[in-house]
A and B are shown apart, each in its own frame.
Chain A
Amino acid sequence: MTAVATLGRLTAAYLTVALLALLGGVVTGLAQGLEHAGINVYPALAPVVQSYYHGLSLHGVLNVLVWTTFFICGFLPFIAVQAFDVPLAAPRLGWFTFWLMTGGLLLAAIPLVGNAATVMFTFYPPLKAHWAFYVGLTLVVVGTWLVTLNLALTRQAWRRTHPGERTPLPAFMALVTFTMWTLASAGLAAEMLFLTIPWSLGLVAGTDALLARVLFWFTGHPIVYFWLLPAYISWYTIVPRQAGGRLFSDPLARASFLLFLVLSTPLGFHHQYTDPGIHEGWKLVHAFLTFAVFFPSLLTFFNVVASLESGARARGGRGWVAWFAKLPWGDPSVAAQVLAMLLFAFGGIGGLINASVSLNLLVHNTAWIPGHLHLTVGTAVTLSFMGITYWLVPMLSGRALWSRRLALVQVWLWVGGMVIFSNALHRLGLMGMPRRTMIGAAAYIQPEWKPVLPLVAVGGTILTLSALLYFANLALTLVVSRAPYPHGLMFAEAMSGPDHAPAIFDRLRPWLVLAVALIALAYGPSLAYLLATTPFDSPGMRVW
């Protein structure tokens, strides 16, 4: 078997777990959407889903943590190995990693499904979940580090046979993504190892809410780049080719990813603008760095759109904007990802609003935030990943997609449902409706919320329908489809290739040093102060 075919099985294994998690999260999500419109289905779901908040925790953990992470750990090594054209350096380690992560997931799933970890995907102490939840999630994180190791070893092996060559762009981007994540996940790892695990096991009596939040958001913002960058990799290196064009600039793409490596982490305080106990000055430093990370996003926007434009023009597109209509809209993989980019533009604007110190006070912890999250991780990432699976699943199974038309319907339903759903949540947030709240049961529903709340259910229902069509199409592809699908993934060529970039754009270490220095600067003083003054006197409790 070829190297790629061997890896294909590992990728398929990750994809299976990811898709099951997505399915679970979608089903629980529907119940939440209906609840906001006053349709309480939870009595019918008991004892599987024991409360609104139990369902919400399942939804968040399954969709935001599991679906993304398992997809990425399957997809990026697949891309990297294809681009390197050498086998994964340590295939046994690869399988060990998969089983470690899956074992961790199952361990965490026991209390989560059993309503002993109804603490949301942010699990802010002193809400106290069962220890297996924290230990299981920690094993998943450790697994992601082993993926980084395997990618680094693979690059080393490639380097031996290709001395002096530039790392192929898709592989380089995969490595940068995992390097960034490994560095960023240090906060979460510290929270787990030093705070939540010993505390949930009863080894220490107390914990601290603020320190836990600081460590969580150390990882909690860069984790969105860990989800987003794999979608960017597809937008940069695969979608332009699918659209019949070329990547506009390889050096600019590298520069953008290296800036994400440097800038993704030292800005977590923008999730904590309203937390007491962190000095306002440091919050402003993180606000500044948040605006700085907007820069590589703008570079990506330009480069990806220019690449799409080259494809559309090659297909006969004309004009400044009209070329857009000439993209291959009949290809569900392209349609999904281009539409994901479009909605992501609104997610990006919303993100800037969230980062803006004074505007954040209007929207923090309101329904605006899940509205934003569903445009970013729920569309830019999820709809792109769906678009990727429209070629990846056929490639791994050797069977053509069962129905392209059904896939197109699914993609447009997702966009339509999301526009309704996300717009409703954004508006409700601006009207002061809190997030993560069983609104249908609240005594304080304001009159101005009432006309908008049903739209949450309408949008959510359309999204669920779209997701079910998606799963049906994939299942029928595996079971019914008989048309063959050729193996072999083609990346977009670049108009301006890697040789036009300075050599430092192909190195990781100097940028990693810069990233660590910036993190030390942005987080060092606040963390040192907290570690020196925190008494760890919150006992913690189960309140669900």
Chain B
Amino acid sequence: MKKTMIALAVATLSASVTMVAQTTQINGAGATFPYPIYSKWFSEYNKLHPNVQINYQSIGSGGGIQQVSKETVFFGASDAIMNEEQLKAAPGKLLHFPTVLGAVVPVYNIPNLKTELKFSGPLLADIYLGKITKWNDPAISKLNPGVTLPATDITVTHRAEGSGTTFIWVDFLSKVSPEFKTTVGVNASVSWPTGVGGRGNEGVSGLVTQTPGSIGYVELIYALQNKIAYGSVLNAAGEYITASVQAVTAAASSAAANMPADFRVSITNAPGKGAYPISSFTWLLLYEDPKDKAQSKAMVDFVKWALSDGQRYCADLGYAPLPDNVVKLEMAALAKVKVS
């Protein structure tokens, strides 16, 4: 009896040892915006492939770029593309792979207003530059004929911390307003000419819902999950588009025609019909020739799965899935990553 017990114990022990030996652990870090879908993917993928375990720290896009450049993690993740300087600072060639799409929507609080407001890029830029300060400004009325707007001050709110959401927002405003581009510019955190900063999506939406006459911007997922009303935005094709998962995928789809080989593309103000103009990819950052080939093999297999089967988890979590033409390009590009 005792002997069988010992034998059993030895057997289980050796079994667990071999399992540990086979498990591939991959560490990554970066953007907070895609964290919900990434953690869903990692856990679902782990169910299918118990020997692959992916750990992800959502420390922010800037942190992700830094960690992957210092090679303290195997892969990075970012809501903003790396610039030339950052790419040069990395010890090897880093590749960008779009995984899902997000969008940013303008939210506002005007008491007793029943209709949805329409915005254009230049109008939003002027509000965020502090040039338009009243809700009944002719520039707003012109886009919203028939809507009676109050003569109250506009309280501008923005994100206090560095954020991919801010990056997408100012990237769009800089594209449509030369003045915004020169005075504010594009970065994850910028020097705002006006307004108050709330921390996180919840900080901004908290400010907007509490402050009559305020305007702010939050991620589409956040607005959808918390049922916050938001305005429609004029796109490059001249249509007012209310953000939705479909409209964001449409923006990516129209941008795919001119997709650069390295996927480093901003799709704000995308040209196509039905495209929501304040949309963006979020990217995984992988080395073309990583040191650990076993991890590389597992990671490439995972990314292939995430781009195909994994995309069906997007809708539930409020992310826009990648359009098929982008997935095709990425599958081809994944072959560049060395796995042996």
Question: Is B truly associated with A?
Answer: no
| Residue positions of A touching B, CB distance < 8 A | none
| Residue positions of B touching A, CB distance < 8 A | none
